């Protein structure tokens, strides 16, 4: 499987507090029809933090089953507990995921040596391709380029990174210091095009839940050398990007999908529905940009 282009960090539809399998399958099918390059179940956007392990395994299995090998599936399977991350990774592997997305352990803030030991343990006990996920805003830990390069060189299963710092200097240093072919995805929808311009491979995106064709078209245009089209789509998506982060992700994007009739905008605590004032603003942006 090729890890490049636009991958959607899928929301998880809920109904009556349970996973809405029908809505999830329909969302996945629509994403593939719209030209998305890959799918990422059970990430932050998918509310994995509020799921049981069995539920995560089910969501990954449904995604792999529905994708039918048409696009790669990178399953969220990370934890701040290495043993738990191993168990989740084994579930993802059993479900048939092509790779897993592994967040740097949050809250306990390991040292670089601790990060290396974490990924070595994952590789030893549940070997498969891993995409490291660096998102300091949620973890309290920034995996610096020299640390990422050390892990990439010493743990061959670590084949790439989702960089959610929006720091192009740091991203450039990662590309410079890591082995040739190491994949770097943007984890920040605002900076996908700039990251690709310095050697990035694509994005694991929130906004592509509601605009998969626009995001995949932008990545494809850049790859084809049509910089004018890529730039046009970049700026066309910026109002949507801003709207998707007017409150904590995934509140706005899931609310948007509800407005589009794709699913019920249902959340699990401690995530709560969008504030009424922001709902009005969101609807306006979606209408102005032809989403609803």
Q: 42 lies in a domain?
A: yes
Question: Is residue 204 annotated as involved in ligand binding?
Answer: yes
- Res. 121 pLDDT band, cuts 50 70 90: very high
Residue 34 lies in a domain: yes
- Per the domain annotation, does 249 fall within a domain? no
| 162: annotated active-site residue | yes
The catalytic position among 15, 83, 109, 133 is 133
- 287 located within any domain: no
pLDDT at 217: 98
pLDDT tens by residue, 11-68: 999 999 999 999 999 999 999 999 999 999 999 999 999 999 999 999 999 999 999 9
In a domain, 255, yes or no: no
Question: Is a pLDDT exceeding 80 seen at residue 215?
Answer: yes
Task: Tell me whether residue 241 is in a domain.
Answer: no
- The verdict on residue 252 lying in a domain is no
Whether 93 is catalytic is no
Domain range enclosing 55: 5-224
Check whether 28 is labelled as a binding-site residue. Answer: no
Task: Output the 3-class SS for the chain.
Answer: CCCCEEEEECCCCEECCEECHHHHHHHHHHHHHCCCCEEECCCCCCCHHHCCHHHHHHHHHHHHHHHCCCCCEEEECCCCCHHHHHHHHHHHHHHCCCEEEEECCCCCCCCHHHHHHHHHHHHHHCCCCEEEEECHHHHCCCCCHHHHHHHHHHCCCEEEEEECCCCHHHHHHHHHHCCCCCEEEECCHHHHHHHHHCCCCEEEECHHHCCHHHHHHHHHHHHCCCHHHHHHHHHHHHHHHHHHCCCCCCHHHHHHHHHCCCCCCCCCCCCCCCCHHHHHHHHHHHHHCCCC
Residue 212 covered by a domain? yes
Domain count, the chain: 1
Mean pLDDT of 87-108: 97
Model pTM score = 0.97
- From the list 93, 162, 254, 262, the catalytic residue is 162
Q: How confident is the model at residue 288 (pLDDT cuts 50, 70, 90)?
A: very high
Tell me: the pLDDT tens digits for 134-176? 999 999 999 999 999 999 999 999 999 999 999 999 999 999 9
Looking up residue 201, the CATH number of its domain turns out to be: 3.20.20.70
| pLDDT over 90 at 2, yes or no | no
* pLDDT over 90 (residue 87): yes
The residue with greater pLDDT, 2 or 253, is 253
Would you say residue 70 has pLDDT above 80?
A: yes
């Amino acid at each position: 499987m090729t890890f490049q282009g636009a991958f959607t960090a899928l929301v998880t539809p809920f109904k009556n507090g349970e996973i809405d399998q029908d809505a999830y399958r329909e969302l996945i099918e629509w994403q593939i029809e719209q030209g998305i390059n890959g799918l990422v179940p059970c990430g932050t956007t998918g509310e994995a933090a509020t799921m049981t392990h069995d539920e995560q395994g089910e969501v990954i299995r449904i995604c792999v089953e529905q994708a039918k090998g048409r696009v790669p599936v990178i399953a969220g399977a990370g934890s701040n507990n290495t043993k738990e991350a191993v168990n989740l990774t084994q579930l993802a592997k059993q479900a048939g995921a092509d790779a897993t997305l592994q967040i740097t352990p949050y809250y306990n803030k390991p040292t670089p040596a601790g990060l290396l030991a974490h990924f070595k343990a994952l590789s030893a006990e549940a070997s498969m391709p891993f995409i490291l996920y660096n998102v300091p805003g949620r973890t309290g830990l920034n995996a610096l380029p020299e640390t990422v390069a050390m892990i990439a060189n010493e743990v061959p299963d670590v084949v790439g990174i989702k960089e959610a710092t929006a720091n192009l200097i740091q991203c450039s240093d990662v590309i410079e210091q890591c082995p040739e072919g190491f994949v770097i995805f943007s984890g920040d929808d605002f900076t996908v095009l700039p990251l690709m311009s310095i050697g990035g491979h694509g994005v694991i995106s929130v906004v592509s839940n509601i605009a998969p064709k626009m995001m995949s078209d932008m990545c494809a245009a850049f790859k084809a050398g049509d910089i004018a089209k890529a730039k046009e789509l970049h700026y066309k998506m910026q109002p949507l990007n801003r709207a998707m982060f007017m409150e904590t992700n995934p509140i706005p994007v899931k609310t948007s999908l509800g407005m589009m009739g794709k699913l019920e905008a249902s959340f699990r605590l401690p995530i709560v529905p969008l504030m009424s004032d922001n709902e009005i603003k969101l609807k306006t942006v979606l209408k102005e940009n032809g989403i609803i």
